Amino acid sequence: MAKYIITGGPCTGKSTLIRALQAQGYRCVDEVARQLIDEAERTGSDCHPARDFHLFQQHVVHRQLALEESVKHEPLVFFDRGIPDGIGYHWERGVDVPSYIADLAQTRGYAGVFVLARLGVYKQDAQRFEDAAQGQRVHDMICKAYAASPYPVHHVPIFDADQHTSVCLRVSYIKKHIGGDQNGTRPA
């Protein structure tokens, strides 16, 4: 299986790009952190980055590993974030990265990482509670975490076009770098 990561700080267009790749037939996995934040908001759980950062990160890692395992027989999968993202979030908070996260981040076998450039507009939402300055720091630390990883990193630019065209150009950029066709399969 070829596992690719779509990443970047908040407001880089990851979710929009994931939906565009899905629309073209690619298997994609949504961001684990957003799922956990939604669940914590519904249930009042402490598994929320604002309530218990370390507990939250443990759950992100465990769920990410389970999702990676669940799609291991797919020929090609895009993930909205990967294990090294957690390192960036730890660094942004100025806290030590647990050794199990550091070790896992080096051994996931990702075929490539696509770091999306930050968009010009920053919007907070129910799961994105960082302000613009913190969002930039998160982005910078995620970039640093992947730069220290063994995975090939591709920086996906912002294309000067309307939003739809820009998303299409970002999808084309990624497809060019994976060698995939329109059906979400890799050439033999």
Question: Does the residue 92 lie in any domain?
Answer: yes
Name the domain count of the chain.
1
Question: Does the residue 53 lie in any domain?
Answer: yes
Q: Does residue 180 register a pLDDT over 70?
A: no
CATH code at 162?
A: 3.40.50.300
Question: Does the residue 184 lie in any domain?
Answer: no
| Residue 27 lies in domain | 2-178
Question: Does the residue 165 lie in any domain?
Answer: yes
**CB contact at 8 A, 27 and 68:** no
For residue 91, give Cα distances in angstroms to 26, 80, 83, 86. Answer: 32, 20, 14, 9
Question: Does the residue 185 lie in any domain?
Answer: no
Question: Does the residue 186 lie in any domain?
Answer: no
Q: How high is the pLDDT of residue 131?
A: 78
Q: How high is the pLDDT of residue 183?
A: 47
Tell me which residue of 36, 26, 37 sits closest to 74, measured CA to CA.
26
User: How far apart are alpha carbons 1 and 6 in whole angstroms?
Assistant: 16
Question: Does the residue 65 lie in any domain?
Answer: yes
The pLDDT tens digits for 11-30 are: 898 999 999 999 999 999 99
